[in-house]
Amino acid sequence: MTAEMLPWILARATGMTAIALIGLAMVAGLLVRTRTAVGGVKGSGMVGLHRHLSLLSLLAIAAHGAFLVMDTTVDISPLALVVPGLVPYRPLWTGVGVVAAELALLVHVSFRLRSRIGARTWRRLHWLTYAVFAGGMVHGIAAGTDTGTTWATALYAGLAGAVAGLTGWRAVTARRPRPAARGRARVQTRPMGDTGTSQEALS
Ligand code: HEM
């Protein structure tokens, strides 16, 4: 390995770190929604973990971009980090990465703007995390050098399996009324689409 190769290696490592952190942030968010405790972490502790993982994923994306600009293997300008299609290497798949990064930033900023934009708009924006995760996965698999290695395949499959499995679990538990809600249901009717779970706690 030469010193010249270092930014390229770090760009790959931070890309992998970014997708792992995005996946883990989604897992933590889904555990909040399904009220599932893992290793004693639940409720506000899980919300805190979710937010920290989300912030760390943004830092990893920023590092990924910085190392790509430093790397001389492919000529990537700072502008190409924000305008999809400007990277000469696999422009479609790197463009998908750019869009995923921008959506990740939007979702994160919406955390802070929740009181201004309202809970309903914030909740809708939060669904974009699925686009960020799917975009990041497709981008990494289609543009990455390490695609096809056993460890990368295990990472991608593990993340996809965890997010898909917990999303299914969330869909099942959202339909089942909680014990307290069951009592209230006798005296009041819930608005359509309100699952009664604590997404508000994610603010
Ligand atoms: C949500 C945002 C992003 C995530 C999660 C992400 C993740 C990844 C992953 C997992 C890889 C595969 C690395 C490997 O195989 O070792 C990768 C490669 C790559 N990404 Fe990203 N990326 C993101 C944003 C971007 C952006 C904004 C750019 C800038 C154009 C970009 C450009 C690249 C390039 C050129 C590669 C190929 C590097 C190589 O493996 O040789 N990515 N990315």
Q: 163 C-alpha vs ligand 1 centroid, how far in Å?
A: 20
Quick check: CB of 16 below 6 Å from ligand 1? Answer: yes
Burial class (CB in 10 A: 0-12, 13-18, 19+), 72: exposed
User: For 79-123, how does the pLDDT look when each residue is reduced to its tens digit (9 = 90+)?
Assistant: 999 999 999 999 999 999 999 999 999 999 998 899 999 999 999
- Residue 104 alpha carbon, nearest atom of ligand 1: 1
With 80 as the cut, is the pLDDT of residue 1 above it? no
Amino acid 181: pLDDT: 54
d(CA 130, CA 63): 22
User: For 63-78, how does the pLDDT look when each residue is reduced to its tens digit (9 = 90+)?
Assistant: 999 999 999 988 999 9
With 80 as the cut, is the pLDDT of residue 196 above it? no
Q: Whose CA is nearest to atom 6 of ligand 1?
A: 15
Residue type, 32: V
Amino acid 174: pLDDT: 78
Q: Whose CA is nearest to atom 17 of ligand 1?
A: 140
Quick check: CB of 65 below 6 Å from ligand 1? Answer: yes
Q: 132 C-alpha vs ligand 1 centroid, how far in Å?
A: 13
Residue 28 near residue 44 (C-beta atoms within 8 A): no
Q: Whose CA is nearest to atom 15 of ligand 1?
A: 144
- Residue 18 alpha carbon, nearest atom of ligand 1: 5
Quick check: CB of 18 below 6 Å from ligand 1? Answer: yes
Amino acid 192: pLDDT: 40
Amino acid 175: pLDDT: 73
Quick check: CB of 143 below 6 Å from ligand 1? Answer: yes
Among the listed residues 48, 54, 45, the one whose alpha carbon sits nearest the alpha carbon of residue 25: 54
Burial class (CB in 10 A: 0-12, 13-18, 19+), 105: middle
